[in-house]
Amino acid sequence: MEKGLGAWIGGSAILASMCCLPSVIWVLFAGSSAIVAADQLSNDLYYSWVRWLLYAASAMMLTIGMVIYHRSKGICTLDDAIRNRRKVINTTLLTFTIAIITYLIWNFIVLEILGIAVGLPWEDSAFWN
């Protein structure tokens, strides 16, 4: 993967996990007094339309990153994309696959463990239970 695509992938994974990341950061800086409010914030964001908006914004971010990446490689028109369709398709599939895997690991393992470590009551709903 190119260096430029890595930033787009990482950024999209962080953007997609913005329903849970602010709660973890809030508890890290505010301490145990913010646990109930931070948990309610993450529940409100995760179980509402906001999660789907974050997913859509993340997909748009990846799409923009792919366009910028391919244009930097000289694939600027639709005819260029058709001529290089195998490269475009393979790069796009690989990028979106890596982005989804990165999001799943970041959101459901790293943030889950961090949230539990700082005291958020997420252990009962963790995917390993």
CB atoms within 10 A of CB 67: 13
Helix (H, G, I), strand (E, B) or coil at 42: helix
**Mean pLDDT on 79-105:** 94
Span of 1-10, 40-49, 111-120 with lowest mean pLDDT: 1-10
pLDDT of residue 79: 93
pLDDT > 70: percent of the chain: 98
- The answer, yes or no, to whether residue 127 has pLDDT greater than 90, is no
Q: For residue 28, give every residue at least 6 positions away whose Cβ sits within 8 Å of its Cβ, in sequence order, or none.
A: 118
pLDDT of residue 96: 95
Question: How far is Cα 3 from Cα 6, in angstroms, rounded to an integer?
Answer: 5
Whether the Cβ atoms of residue 9 and residue 102 lie closer than 8 Å to each other = yes
pLDDT of residue 3: 66
Count of alpha carbons within 13 angstroms of residue 118, beta-carbon side:
25
- What is the per-residue pLDDT across 13-64, written as a single tens digit (0 to 9) for each? 999 999 999 999 999 888 888 899 999 999 999 999 999 999 999 999 999 9
- The answer, yes or no, to whether residue 4 has pLDDT greater than 80, is no
Whether the Cβ atoms of residue 80 and residue 12 lie closer than 8 Å to each other = no
Q: For residue 35, give every residue at least 6 positions away whose Cβ sits within 8 Å of its Cβ, in sequence order, or none.
A: 27, 118, 119, 120, 121
